[in-house]
Structure 1
Amino acid sequence: MTNLPTQARVVIIGGGVIGCSVAYHLAKLGWSDIVLLERKQLTSGTTWHAAGLIGQLRASSNMTKLARYTAELYAKLEEETGVATGLRQGGSVSVALTSERLEELMRSAAMARAFGVPAEELSPTEIKEKYEHINLDGVTGGVWLPTDGQGDPANIALALAKGARQRGAQIQERVKVTGLSCEGRRVTGVDWVSDDGHENGHIACDHVVNCAGMWGREVGRMAGVNVPLQACEHFYIVTEPIEGLDRLPVLRVPDECAYYKEDAGKMMLGAFEPVAKPWGMDGIPDSFEFDQLPEDFDHFEPILEAACNRLPMLAEAGIHTFFNGPESFTPDDAYHLGLAPEMDNVWVAAGFNSIGIQSAGGAGMALAQWMEDGQKPFDVGDVDISRMQPFQNNRSYLVERATEALGLLYADHFPFRQKTTARGIRRSPFHQHLLDRGAVMGEGAGWERANWFANDGQAPEYEYSWKRQNWFDNAAAEHRAIRENVGMYDMSSFGKIRVEGPDAEAFLNHVGGGDYSVPVGKIVYTQFLNPMGGIEADVTVTRLSETAYLVVTPSATRLADQTWMMRHKGDFNVVFTDVTAGEGVLAVMGPNARKLLQRVSTGDFSNDVNPFGTAQEVELGMGLARVHRVTYVGELGWEVYVSADMAGHAFETLIEAGRDMDLKLCGMHMMDSCRIEKGFRHFGHDITCEDHVLEAGLGFAVKTAKPDFIGRDAVLRKKEEGLNNRMVQFRLTDPEPLLYHHEPILRDGEIVGYLSSGNYGHHLGGAIGMGYVPCKGESVSELLASSYEIDVAGVRVEAEASMRPMYDPKAERTKA
């Protein structure tokens, strides 16, 4: 008998390490009526065969904090529950075989220092001292992370399950979820059937958490929730016992797609091969439980051959186990966490890309706290499920992308690296026009976007490096065109949300920090704030009519921003419509932008009629357009909105009119380098939900004179208390080094933070970075009186610091 209740506060679907962690952390927060349902046996999906590597350093500060929390939690679990977790922190060595990989590792070591993770650069000789069995052929250097470790995956999950049970959670094995009942944007209950088919029932519930692992996509579809992930075959071997083999750190050789783990006198060799094998495209067998997949030695052989050279003892050791088991991977190699955009009580923690063990503790804690408080505990933008676009749940897309995603975990993580699979799905109306003129496309939220333009005779493709890449001079020329003449680039991918209804003005004044009681045609740059004054969205809002506004968002956050508005709609009589695909947008920017537009339109682009921050309907060529006088590059310019049917005509008209003006087509790399010179913030990097709008330097966009908007009290409180941090702009005085993000900021020789974004300032003549510096009780002059350096791959580089934009601080060029 299952003895399941008919009512629960939360039902967790899936009994792997993730589901057990969510149950544990909710119970720890005092939740009662927790029910976890596992279709077979706990850990029987993918947890049981995980490698159990527990790394401390992740791609961002918050993900690193979560990884550190995971390790600390696992260290305490055994004492708390009596279940041995097998945790040991023997450290890890990552090895480079190329100069490019070595720079990546040196930059990761610098990032570790900024995040408070111990890290030490190693020479080849020092690598040999840490790992005596390695063959140093071709080794250029490496990094030592002493707090990394390993654990027993199944026992970690069972310890979490026991901890949850001890606090009252009910965990039921051999019960399969067959359906979810929904009313509007809420799930009301879960249908289940026992494994033997003899029992079934329904549990009414307040919340559902999808922790179904490689079944997560199908469970999501039961509630109309988008959970894009795909299972892939994942290979490792375990040797026979090797005589005299002592405990060793984890060894990673990403250039050979391999990791090595010593366990009980045996060696495990695992792989993240460049071309992976998707699995389960026709569905996972219902009987799947602790299953292995068929061996494919031919697929694994190249990895093994390189490994026998790298660790010669493997050539002498017998193979005890050749293992092939499935793991789930997401389109961008980041896991899915958070409240599903489509529903208001369905949560997701799935798609852990083979790092589920090292992520489970922190992910479970973060999700449980989010469920408890009703808002994110800190920025989890890297993994927030709302970043996924609806089309990414397409099975054909997932299968094709999965062949690349697994291998990218160990590929060179070059800056600006573009995915090569599953491309060309979302195209702007100008796509072919741009390709015909040398555009080199990148991808953003599935959109194909021109990142730079190749010159005649130059191959229109990336050549990746940590140094100046092959497009550096191209972007510099595009940058100069924007600063000195006129350039044009495609902004069609930016999200466009129409907010319409009798209460549109009142609603926006409630949800946003700006003042939207403005005349028709006025554009308001603004933020949507959370109750702590953190930034949930960074948008422009244009009043189109008495009852309609257009909210323009970054392409990656369109869904998240529309969902935020929907969840705060309340009783306001207003509707939201995604109209992104309905209009193409060309940004015409530069000192001669007005001159170009006057050639193609009878509209009046003067400051008297069309001042900065206003929009107007105009004729353009033989068609119609709407021009918004705003800029993200810090120059005089207009964003030209044209309905999709007239977009081609508008492009051709502007190109022809600009021919004798040397109008230059530009890309996204130019846009980012111009915006950082101007000190404009980039959402997701410089500003997030945990960055206070005043500390971000955006207080000018918040109008506290109006009452009762979300975040108003937090803004007033911060004004009273003073700032703890300030956003500062930096310029390296040496023009050679490049900045990307997460480089440590040193103030008077001490690390005080890290860059939230970086790029090259072609006009300012050096790399530019932005980042927060602690300043509690300090004036701006005190803050700027210090000396600053930026740690670039272990080398400290002197930097100038400024609170005002280093380029055009008075915004005279934008208002010319």
Structure 2
Amino acid sequence: MQPTENLPEQADTVIVGAGIVGCNLAYQLTEMGREDVVVVDQGPMPTTGGSSTHAPGIMFQTAEPKTLSQFANYSRKLYSDLEGADGKQAYSETGGIEVARSEERMAFLQRRVEHAKAWGIPDPQILSPSEVTDHLPLVDEEEILGGYYSPTDGQVSGVVACDALAREAMDRGAKFVPHTRTEDVDVEGGAVQRVVTENGSIECDEVVVATNIWARQLGEKLGVHLPVTPVEHQYTMTESLEELADNAIDVTDHPLFENYENVSGEKTKRLLADPDRPILRDQDNAMYYRTHGDAYGIGSYNHEPIVPDPRDLGGNDPDGEQGSVHEFTDFHMDNATHPDRPHKAPRQASDELLPATAGKELEHKYNGMFAESPNGLPVMGPVQEYDGLWTAAAIWVTHAGGAMKALAEWMETGVPRLDDGPIDLAHCDVNRFDDHEGSWDFARDIGGEEYRIVYNIMHPKWVWTDKQRDIRRTPMYHTHKEYDAELWAEAGWEEPQWFESNADLVDRYEDQIPDRNGWEGVYYSPIEGAEALNVRENVGLHDMTSFNKMEVVGSDAGEFVQYLCTNDMDIGVGDVKYTLMCNEGGGVRADITVTRTDEDRYLLLTTGREVGNNHVAWVREQAPDGVVVNDVTSSLAAMVCTGPNARKVLSKVTDVDLSDEAFPFFTSQQFFVKNVPVTALRVSYAGELGWELYTPSEYGERLWEYLLEAGEEYGLRPYGNGALNALRIEKGFRLWGKDLHTEHTPHEAGLGWAVDMDTDFIGKEALQETAEAAADGGARRKEVACLTLNDEDATILDNRPVLDGEESIGYVHSAEYGYTVGACVAYSYLPPEYTDPGTEVDILYEGDRYTATVREEPLVS
């Protein structure tokens, strides 16, 4: 690698940070044809002194979030094609094994197999204890119950990969400038102008903040509060072990050795030595392992969270001290400080699993830092506050290759993609965060919590319990508390999942609510089913305040709304229409209902919650001058009164004619409920007769109380999100982010009826190309399929593989029991030949195969 010490005066794109993220991005952008790319870093290159320098580079590909597995799978393939400075393949495909020391962990490892099959990770296997030790002879077989084996997992040195990526990027025209600390980014008129460094400025059109643990500091200078939290974890390397004597290797002749040693010192002799056997994780004790020649490396997350203040990090010391490394705290290795593992010190747990390390000196040891985000996923994408400002942070070596492939495609074409097609990054998007998440108070606590749970067995419905709760309250919050609501946090909102006050309904409907005794029954109450059935039979009231709401205003608002939406939006004042927004690639960016509330005013309503801000940012990005986009989520209380008795309830508190003739479906009116002003929409996500009611927030609680009182004689009960999900799925209503997102086109999602190709909208050209390719006999992508389990008492969770024999043909995007249908309903995307009603497939869930049948939708008319 031959970086330059001369700082260019101008560039199209400047990447701040030359770690594994910055190098991957430069590689991808130059491969796409960009030549004017400059990468600057405060440290030397390729050993910049960031997390990439000290990381052991283990790569376990399987994760429950599909996005992380997709990133890792791509990274593994990319690193396998890289040639290190020593002429060898950069990636060591040793395989990876995760062991279980408890029955709960064995069940978790079975889920690992199912997620791997769902996401396309090759050949996942469950191993017996003896099969584990066949691969890892130093593991004590008596200490484990079994293991999960992924043969293509492995290890890559961050330094070796950075060097290889940078060399190829430089061969294609990129410039890398070391020893250059970035001090600021100048912006004018809402757009990036230049990067200001300690050695001068670079005029540019785009800046990508790829500084990982330092990302928050640079963002603060721009008023962009990135919730990227530095956290410490421990890594050590033992002295030489007799059992590994045959694996001793001298790396001092490696072309990168001297450069690496200048930053990392004596431990470079270990860090540059590749592993000779599968990498290992003992998640029950939050530990991981790899060999370094004749020594074992031991990584520990098994201690209390250590969260340094970003303002205290500083940079890399000129004398060679790494800013991303803190002094090793022996106390955390020798004592049980992890709040969820109070009974055994990390060193004891490690020595029990690998007896060969017992009593051996830990020759090299340090506390290395990496970055966490509030949901444990990357923070990437275009920052809505400034044109030309991009982020790429909270990304590990494991995921950096895939993440930066997706980001480069995003920057170049507007659509994140990997080699096999578009990838949805809603839960990684930098614009997903709410205002409170930018506070250091929140980022510190939740970053620490993400660290705490990183190796815990976490249920997909788990929510924070005692950290950073009770932040955002809907106007009905206190009434929810009076009705003993089970409140879960979503995007900071306290939202009812069910109401304990409805427990009496369970007896009424008990014959229609199957028991849930397994993993699917955790964080579940049968009250959810009872509430759903009461809505179908009587009437229910649901708090929708947290749904994202936008107001589009201006003389060109109508033209703009048409450009945003796939449907024909030539609607009159008071009309409501369901439509989609697509991205440039024809993927569904959101599904929304649009209400024309005045000549030049529209109300856009979408689900989204924890990622709903992405929709707001998207709409604002597209808006022309003269059109104002206001986020009115917090200013409007929202609720839906729905069920066969909904008209009776509302008629008690308003004089408005609510008949079908006077108030048709998909129309809106403004009137009073007693003395509360409302905008009422004749729509319902539950799929029953109903009205969504919107009112200024200060009226919300009173409106809720009026409806509860009016509905008492008609069986009205409040209901939570658990019931709503059951109601919507059996009606075939899509849930954005689960069974509908940017990886799907409208036609694949079965929503072609919401597309009018006679209008002009974002993504139309891509949809035309897709249709033309299909007409010419091109391969069709997967299509949506509605499935029900043949076992009417069974319930499954999502993200599990759909199988034909042993072949995985798709995965469950969302699943919930349909209490009206009397079966569990699952939505998947399958090859077209599997989507005909009556087709049977299998779903692998918790180690069992469940036969499911494709059905006509909707299941409930």
For residue 323 of structure 1, the aligned residue among 366, 385, 396 is 366
CA contact (8 A) 2:549 2:605 kept: yes
Q: Using the TM superposition, give the Cα deviation of residue 323 of structure 1 relative to its aligned residue in structure 2, in angstroms.
A: 1.6
When residues 425 and 769 of structure 1 are mapped into structure 2, their CA distance, relative to the original with a 3 A threshold, is same
- Counterpart in the other structure of 1:756: 813
Partners in 1 of 2:820 and 2:110 — Cα distance? 28
- Structure 1 residues 83, 654: closer, same or farther in 2, change over 3 A? farther
User: Does the CA-based 8 Å contact 1:104-1:466 persist in structure 2?
Assistant: no
Q: 2:565 aligns with which of 512, 522, 525?
A: 512
TM-align CA RMSD? 2.4
Q: Which residue number corresponds to residue 6 of structure 1?
A: 9
Matches within 5 A, 1:396-435: 396-420=441-465, 421-435=467-481
- 1:481–1:141 Cα change, 3 Å: farther
User: How far apart, in 2, do the equivalents of 1:254 and 1:762 lie?
Assistant: 37
Q: What TM-score does the superposition give when structure 2 sets the normalisation length?
A: 0.87
Q: 1:779 Cα deviation (Å)?
A: 10
Contact 1:341 1:559 in 2 (8 A): no
Q: CA deviation at 1:265?
A: 2.0
Partner of 2:623: 569
TM-score by length of structure 1 reads: 0.92
SS at 2:534 equivalent: helix
Does the CA contact (< 8 Å) of 1:590 and 1:635 recur in 2? yes
Q: Describe how 1:70-469 pairs up with structure 2 within 5 A.
A: 70-78=75-83, 82=86, 87-117=91-121, 118-136=123-141, 139-193=144-198, 200-245=199-244, 247-273=276-302, 275-288=304-317, 289-291=321-323, 292-300=325-333, 301=335, 302-352=345-395, 356-377=396-417, 378=422, 379-420=424-465, 421-455=467-501, 466-469=519-522
Structure-1 separation of matches of 2:289 and 2:611:
38
**Residue number among 710, 732, 739 corresponding to 2:762 in the alignment:** 710
Distance 1:447 1:740 in 2: 24
CA drift at 1:748: 6.5
Deviations 1:309-356 (A, max 9, x none): 23333323222223212211111100112222222211111112xxx1
Residue aligning to 2:273 = none
Label 1:627 to 1:753 Cα distance change in 2 as closer, same or farther (>3 A).
same
2:415–2:585: 8 Å Cα contact kept in structure 1? no
Equivalent residue for 1:578, pick from 623, 631, 635: 631
In the aligned structure 1, how far is the partner of 2:83 from the partner of 2:656? 73
Offset at residue 287 of structure 1 (A): 4.8
Deviations 1:45-92 (A, max 9, x none): 22111121112223344543331221122222226x556565311111
- Helix, strand or coil at the partner of 1:517: coil
- Tell me if structure 1 keeps the 8 A contact 2:217–2:310: no
The separation in 1 between residues aligned to 2:667 and 2:104, in whole angstroms, is 47
Q: 1:511 to 1:145 in 2, by over 3 A?
A: same
CA contact (8 A) 1:495 1:557 kept: no
CA contact (8 A) 1:100 1:466 kept: no
Shift of 1:136: 4.8
Q: In 2, are the aligned partners of 1:414 and 1:464 still within 8 Å (CA)? A: no
| Range with greater deviation from structure 2 (81-90 or 315-324) | 81-90
1:369-402 deviation digits (Å, cap 9, x = unpaired): 2222233222222322222223311111111112
Question: Is 1:560 equivalent to 2:614 in the alignment?
Answer: yes
* CA–CA distance in structure 2, aligned partners of residues 221 and 527 of structure 1: 35
The 8 Å contact of residues 502 and 527 in structure 2, kept in 1 or not, is answered as: no
Distance in 2, matches of 1:63 and 1:285, equals 30
- Check whether the contact 1:275–1:404 (CA below 8 A) recurs between aligned residues: no
Residue type of the partner of 2:29?
Answer: L
C-alpha contact (below 8 Å) 1:625/1:641 kept by paired residues: yes
Contact residue 107 and residue 793 of structure 1 kept, 8 A: yes
Distance 2:69 2:328 in 1: 35
1:16 equivalent in structure 2: 19
Q: Does the 8 A contact of 1:85 with 1:159 survive in 2?
A: no
Q: Secondary structure at the match of 1:78?
A: coil
**Counterpart residue identity of residue 74, structure 2:** Y
Asked whether the equivalents of residues 52 and 152 of structure 1 are also in contact (C-alpha less than 8 Å), the reply is yes
Q: Contact 2:289–2:298 (CA<8 Å) still a contact in 1?
A: yes
State the shift of 1:21 in Å.
Answer: 1.2
Q: Which residue type is aligned with residue 566 of structure 1?
A: R
The aligned amino acid for 1:279 is P
Distance 2:408 2:356 in 1: 45
Structure 1 residues 239 and 138, CA gap change in structure 2 (3 angstroms): closer
Contact 1:8 1:35 in 2 (8 A): yes
**Residue 87 to residue 717, structure 1, CA distance change in 2 (3 Å):** closer
CA deviation map 1:534-590 (0-9, x unaligned): 11111111111111001112223432222222222245x311111111111122222
Tell me the CA shift for residue 183 of structure 1. 2.1
| C-alpha separation in 1, matches of 2:442 and 2:67 | 29
Task: Specify the SS of the correspondent of 1:57.
Answer: coil
- Partners of 2:440 and 2:201 lie apart in 1 by 30
On the 8 A contact 2:541/2:641 being kept in 1, the answer is yes
Name the aligned partner's letter for residue 709 of structure 1: F
CA distance in 2, matches of 1:388, 1:306: 38
Deviation, structure 1 residue 788: 1.6
SS in 2 for 1:588: strand
Is 403-412 or 761-770 further displaced after alignment? 761-770
Q: In structure 2, do the counterparts of structure 1 residues 456 and 687 end up closer, same or farther at CA, with 3 Å as the change threshold?
A: closer
Change (3 A) 1:454 1:222: same
Counterpart secondary structure, 1:367: helix
Report the counterpart of residue 678 of structure 1 in structure 2: 731
Corresponding pairs, count: 788
Q: What pairs up with 1:722-737 in 2 under 5 angstroms?
A: 724-737=781-794
- Looking at structure 1, the residues matched to 315 and 809 of structure 2 have their Cα atoms a distance apart, in angstroms, of 53
SS at match of 1:244: helix
Shift of 1:716: 4.3
* Gap change, CA 1:557 and 1:184, over 3 Å in 2: farther
Change (3 A) 1:407 1:695: same
Farther-moved stretch of structure 1 (504-513 vs 56-65): 56-65
User: Once structures 1 and 2 are overlaid, which stretch shifts more, 203-212 or 709-718?
Assistant: 709-718
Report if the CA contact (8 A) 1:734-1:766 is conserved: yes
Which whole-Å CA distance do the structure 1 matches of 2:768 and 2:503 have between them?
57
Q: Does the 8 Å CA contact 2:225/2:439 hold for their aligned counterparts?
A: no
1:719-762, CA deviations, whole angstroms, 9 ceiling, x for partnerless residues?
A: 55355432111111113443222222224664211111122222
2:331 aligned counterpart, secondary structure? helix
1:538 to 1:283, Cα distance in 2 relative to 1, 3 A: farther
Q: Distance in 1 between matches of 2:547 and 2:217?
A: 30
SS of equivalent to 1:528: strand
Check whether the contact 2:459–2:522 (CA below 8 A) recurs between aligned residues: no
State the one-letter code of the partner of 2:382: L
| Secondary structure of 1:157 counterpart | helix
Q: In 2, Cα distance between the equivalents of 1:27 and 1:704?
A: 36
In 2 relative to 1, CA 21–644 (structure 1 residues): closer, same or farther, beyond 3 Å?
Answer: same
1:512 deviates by 0.7
Give the Cα–Cα distance (whole angstroms) in 1 for the partners of residues 668 and 141 of structure 2.
63
Identity rate, percent = 32
**Structure-1 separation of matches of 2:455 and 2:742:** 30
SS of structure 1 residue aligned to 2:62: coil
Q: Distance in 1 between matches of 2:794 and 2:297?
A: 39
